Amino acid sequence: MLMLSIKAAQPSIVNTYWQSSIIAVLKAEINSIIAVYTRLQTTMPGAAYANNRADVLNNANNLCKAQKNTISSLGGGLVGNANTCN
């Protein structure tokens, strides 16, 4: 009986560990996306590259939103400056 209760508890311990790991990775990726977004805003010429810049920023924003949703679904809540995703 005791062995069964220990085995039953293991999946939640493992899930919590993996959720924390995934959340940590996604938070780091969101911060990287925001850094790239900020760099693009300040370094890419507006007129000549307007379309490319808009596409890149839109893709980064979509990825950022998806990762925020994943973090929320794992119970991690929102992250520092990640609310800059639209």
Which tens digits make up the pLDDT trace of 36-82? Answer: 766 766 666 655 566 666 777 777 778 777 777 777 776 665 555 44
DSSP assignment of the chain equals: -HHHHHHHHHHHHHHHHHHHHHHHHHHHHHHHHHHHHHHHHHHS-TTTTHHHHHHHHHHHHHHHHHHHHHHHHTT----GGGGG--
What average pLDDT score do residues 14-30 get?
A: 73
Q: Which residue has the higher pLDDT, 46 or 24?
A: 24
**Which pLDDT score is estimated for 1?**
40
Confidence of residue 5 (pLDDT cuts 50, 70, 90): very low
Q: Decide if pLDDT at 13 tops 50.
A: yes
Tokens 């995934």 belong to residue: 22
**Which pLDDT score is estimated for 28?**
80
